[in-house]
């Protein structure tokens, strides 16, 4: 569904990605893990047309989409939820949702889909008239995820959805992602909360120094002692056991 072939790229002349290669199948969830600064967010920017790609190729359903603009990627059914807070604080929840469908030619469909995502996230209906800034951090993240769904994307790039969320809300976001996958969407996610994320994922990808280090079924990565020690807090558990 999505294929990256030996991607090199970065910001201006600085190279951050040093040969990223992986393929993910349709209707699957893949979690990207790796240390801070490994280039996880940069991979998403590369896919979404926000990076200077020096060489390599990105294929979406077999079509070459290397160096397309974000607008073109949206047109291909790709959506991107960046790391951090991305709602428009002074706009209402409803207007923030509308922004998710701003590129659609048929706004009637957008309004129908706003209704659908409000069914999925009832909190958004309850607070639809409130300014986004008045929501809690977790509620704002739900708003962002909901907004990303407005164009019925086939590929969802979601960077650290659980940051700042209570464990309950993390599970809610994960459940939403699972539901979307079951409906046929493909999801590529970065998560600090690596253990919980891999546990609900089909595949895992370990990125280090801008390179793919491992790519395997999530269950295999979870069972790998080396991955456990480096990325899943295994060393902390070992220390606690002493």
Residues of this chain that bind ligand ATP (CB under 6 A):
11, 14, 16, 34, 36-42, 83
Give the shortest CB-44-to-ligand ATP separation in angstroms: 8
Count other C-beta atoms under 10 Å from residue 182's C-beta. 9
Q: Which residue is nearest to Mg ion (CB)?
A: 41
Give the shortest CB-157-to-Mg ion separation in angstroms: 12
Question: Considering only CA atoms, which of 34, 4, 33 is closest in space to residue 21?
Answer: 4
Query: Could you say whether residue 31 binds Mg ion (CB under 5 A)?
Result: no
Q: Which is nearer to ligand ATP, 11 or 55 (CB)?
A: 11
Q: What is the dihedral of CA 53, 155, 164, 235, to 10 degrees?
A: -70
Q: Which is nearer to ligand ATP, 124 or 173 (CB)?
A: 173
Q: Kindly state the tokens that stand for 227.
A: 């991955």
Q: What is the SS3 assignment for 15?
A: strand
Task: Report the C-alpha gap between 134 and 90 in whole angstroms.
Answer: 9
Q: Which is nearer to ligand ATP, 34 or 153 (CB)?
A: 34
Q: Kindly state the tokens that stand for 37.
A: 């600064």
Question: Considering only CA atoms, which of 75, 38, 48 is closest in space to residue 212?
Answer: 38
Q: Which is nearer to ligand ATP, 39 or 138 (CB)?
A: 39
Q: Which does 11 bind (CB under 5 to 8 A by kind): Mg ion, ligand ATP, none?
A: ligand ATP
Query: Please, which residues bridge with residue 14 across strands?
Result: 11
Give the shortest CB-236-to-ligand ATP separation in angstroms: 18
* Residue 157 near residue 80, CB atoms below 8 Å: yes
Give the shortest CB-207-to-ligand ATP separation in angstroms: 7
Task: Report the C-alpha gap between 127 and 228 in whole angstroms.
Answer: 41
Q: Which does 38 bind (CB under 5 to 8 A by kind): ligand ATP, Mg ion, none?
A: ligand ATP
Q: Which does 39 bind (CB under 5 to 8 A by kind): Mg ion, ligand ATP, none?
A: ligand ATP
The residue from 30, 41, 68, 139 that contacts Mg ion (CB under 5 A) is: 41
Task: Report the C-alpha gap between 165 and 78 in whole angstroms.
Answer: 24
Which residues ranging from 78 to 107 are in contact with Mg ion (CB under 5 A)?
A: 83
Site residues, Mg ion (CB under 5 A):
40-41, 83
């Amino acid at each position: 569904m999505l294929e990256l072939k030996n991607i090199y790229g970065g910001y201006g002349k600085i190279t951050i990605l040093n040969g990223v290669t992986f393929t993910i199948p349709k209707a699957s969830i893949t979690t990207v893990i790796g240390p801070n600064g490994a280039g996880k967010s940069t991979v998403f920017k590369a896919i979404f047309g926000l990076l200077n790609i020096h060489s390599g190729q990105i294929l979406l359903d077999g079509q070459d989409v290397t160096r397309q603009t974000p607008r073109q990627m949206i047109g291909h059914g790709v959506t991107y939820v960046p790391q951090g807070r991305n709602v428009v604080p002074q706009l209402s929840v409803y207007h923030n949702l509308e922004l998710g469908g701003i590129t659609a030619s048929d706004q009637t469909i957008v309004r129908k889909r706003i209704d659908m995502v409000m069914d999925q996230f009832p909190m958004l209906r309850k607070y639809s008239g409130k300014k986004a800034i008045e929501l809690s951090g977790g509620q704002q993240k739900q708003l962002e995820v909901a907004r990303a769904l407005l164009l019925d994307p086939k590929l969802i790039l979601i960077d650290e959805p659980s940051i700042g969320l209570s464990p309950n809300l993390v599970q809610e976001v994960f459940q939403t992602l699972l539901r979307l996958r079951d409906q046929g969407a493909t999801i590529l996610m970065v998560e600090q909360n690596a253990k919980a994320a891999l546990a609900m994922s089909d595949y895992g990808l370990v990125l280090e120094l801008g390179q793919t280090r491992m790519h395997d079924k999530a269950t295999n990565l979870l069972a790998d002692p080396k991955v456990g020690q480096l990325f899943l807090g295994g060393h902390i558990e070992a220390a606690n056991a002493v």
